[in-house]
Amino acid sequence: MPFKLFFFMVFSLAAVVLHGEVCAAPVRITAAGTPAGSATLELQADELVTMTPIPFRLLVSDGAGRPVTGARVSCDMIMPSMTMPENRPRITERDGAYVGEMIFTCAMGAWRINCLAEKTDGSRQAMSFDIETVRMK
């Protein structure tokens, strides 16, 4: 094996190990067009890639900053630049958050995740999350 190649492989391995330690935090996206802090989407992945179930936590709070619990929450994953097949993750409530798995089926543009919380008092809260890029797996 050429020395250069060996060095490259060792360096790559070290980079992967270091990356895992430094970047283990989830991808956090704040809802666009709503009061600051009213909703946050956490995607448990170092990097968003296609065709991979990515666990998520959706945290919703009301105008006073209190967590919204007991709501019926649905999300619709769309791409603004093209028509895509319906993509709605199954969502359950756990530990004060709405959780499930998202699968991005396309890497040819931005995604938008439109979510709706139907609260126990009958009111509705719409949230929208923008994702610029998803890498092809």
Q: Which residues bind Cu ion (CB under 5 A)?
A: 79, 82, 84, 106, 108
Cβ at position 61, least distance to Cu ion in Å: 31
> Which residue sits closest to Cu ion, CB atoms considered?
106
The contacts found for 80-84 with CB under 8 angstroms, 24 or more apart, are: 80/109, 80/110, 80/112, 81/108, 81/109, 81/110, 82/106, 82/108, 82/109
**Cβ distance to Cu ion smaller for residue 30 or 105:** 105
**Cβ distance to Cu ion smaller for residue 63 or 85:** 85
Are the C-beta atoms of 114 and 69 separated by less than 8 Å? no
Cβ at position 59, least distance to Cu ion in Å: 27
Cβ at position 107, least distance to Cu ion in Å: 8
In the structure encoding, which two tokens stand for residue 89, read together? 């993750």
Find where tokens 């992945």 sit.
Answer: 45
Cβ at position 79, least distance to Cu ion in Å: 4
Cα(38)–Cα(60) distance, integer angstroms: 6
**Cβ distance to Cu ion smaller for residue 13 or 136:** 136
**Cβ distance to Cu ion smaller for residue 45 or 106:** 106
